[in-house]
Amino acid sequence: MYKTFFGFKCRPFQLTPDPEFLFMSRVHKRALTYLNYGISDNFGFILITGAIGTGKTTIIRALLKKIPNEIKIARINNTKVTSHQLISLINDDFGLDIKGKDKTQLLGDLTDFLIKQYAEGGRSVLIIDEAQNLSADMLEEIRLLSNLETDKSKLLQIILIGQPELNLTLSKPELEQLRQRIAINTYISPLTRDETESYIRHRLKVAGNENAVRFENGVIDVIYDFSKGTPRLINILCEFVFLALFAEEKKIIDLALIKDVIGDLIHARPETKANELISQSPPREEIPEKLKKALRSFSQRLLTLEATVYEMQNGTLINGKKKRQPSINGESDNGKKELSEGQYTGLKK
């Protein structure tokens, strides 16, 4: 939309994890180095964790572009699955037939495939993204897959990628064996303030025009304060800033503009909208009190109605008035003779 106006060949702040835009910060460079080393030396387990939007998937895509053809890759992104479904996904990504097969058959096929790969001089790597969704039992099953090995080499190398919650699961006592098999463990932290500025200029350069706009003093600081150095949040903010610049036909980002865009983004957040709805509703404590009063009134009317129906059913009401109860000797409690049964029947008619 604004590519021509700013002289870009593509949008610099798109949200897709494009490895062409990978910015090699200190932690990203270290993580990619660890991955390349682990793949080349066939380490059993590699663990990569990081907060949402810090670039884990982008690093993996950059890694995949450099992996030799003799290494077969199975990559799993959907981890909210059963054990059977997980094995099916792994086999399917390795190109194996999965139709109508139970778990035992699938595991047999996977074992045969891995042995064949090794015999032909190839290797196999399993990459599981969003691994924080896996239960301890599922992670233990994945560990068991790594038991397939020769005297000198693993038949299946496994890379686990996930958010920090994955470390909480891995810390459980029952996963001690899996923890001991993790040869490389790295955490991707957010960018620093200086890295945030370099990241923005890097993406502008990759998109085709590093000097597309001018940043006034303090703008980068505001961007960093908003994003806390998280690449995805930087992209979201800058994308809207460039749209605002394009709408106003400007090429200077000043503090007023950046703060206006941040205000719009914060106001549009689901949590902000939810808080607005809550604030517009009556106070929560008033609703129960009104309900209690209504229930008490309804309960009293119901009790009165039940008493009236009971008295009518037992003949203690005549024409809406309470009938005098007869005594054993035929006299009422005030000493007067009661109506005989026949007389009472006639009166009712």
Q: Which of 155, 188, 221 is the last residue of a domain?
A: 188
Let me know whether 299 and 331 are in one domain.
no
Helix (H) or strand (E) holding 159: strand 157-162
For residue 141, is it within any domain? yes
Spell out the long-range contacts of 304-308 with Cβ–Cβ below 8 A and sequence spacing 24 or more: none
The pLDDT, as a whole number, for residue 269 is: 63
3-state secondary structure at position 76 = strand
Longest dimension (CA), the chain: 117
Let me know whether 179 and 112 are in one domain.
yes
Let me know whether 90 and 181 are in one domain.
yes
Count of structural domains within the chain: 4
Low-confidence ranges of the chain (pLDDT < 50): 318, 325-349
Q: Please say whether the beta carbons of 106 and 155 come within 8 A.
A: no
The pLDDT, as a whole number, for residue 338 is: 46
For residue 19, is it within any domain? no
Let me know whether 55 and 164 are in one domain.
yes
Let me know whether 261 and 296 are in one domain.
no
For residue 12, is it within any domain? no
The pLDDT, as a whole number, for residue 288 is: 63
Which residues pair with residue 46 across a beta bridge? 159, 184
* Distance of alpha carbon 113 from alpha carbon 159, whole angstroms: 19
Which residues pair with residue 160 across a beta bridge? 47, 128
What range defines the domain where residue 349 resides?
A: 315-349
Let me know whether 42 and 155 are in one domain.
yes
The pLDDT, as a whole number, for residue 310 is: 61
Let me know whether 40 and 146 are in one domain.
yes
3-state secondary structure at position 158 = strand
For residue 17, is it within any domain? no
3-state secondary structure at position 199 = helix
The pLDDT, as a whole number, for residue 52 is: 93
Let me know whether 42 and 182 are in one domain.
yes
Q: Please say whether the beta carbons of 47 and 186 come within 8 A.
A: yes
For residue 3, is it within any domain? no
- Enter the pTM of the model: 0.74
Question: CATH code at 240?
Answer: 1.10.8
Backbone φ and ψ of 103, nearest 5°: -65, -40
Let me know whether 301 and 183 are in one domain.
no
Q: Which of 139, 158, 188 is the last residue of a domain?
A: 188
The pLDDT, as a whole number, for residue 168 is: 94
Sign (positive or negative) of CA dihedral 273, 275, 279, 281: positive
The pLDDT, as a whole number, for residue 258 is: 95
Q: Which of 188, 207, 239 is the last residue of a domain?
A: 188
For residue 79, is it within any domain? yes
Q: Which tokens belong to 188?
A: 């991707």
The pLDDT, as a whole number, for residue 343 is: 45
Let me know whether 273 and 289 are in one domain.
no
Let me know whether 115 and 45 are in one domain.
yes
Distance linking the first and last C-alpha atoms of the chain: 91
For residue 260, is it within any domain? yes
For residue 207, is it within any domain? yes
The pLDDT, as a whole number, for residue 146 is: 87
> What phi-psi label fits residue 230: left (phi over 0), alpha (psi between -120 and 50 degrees) or beta?
beta
Let me know whether 234 and 305 are in one domain.
no
* Distance of alpha carbon 1 from alpha carbon 13, whole angstroms: 13
Question: CATH code at 173?
Answer: 3.40.50.300
* Distance of alpha carbon 125 from alpha carbon 75, whole angstroms: 8
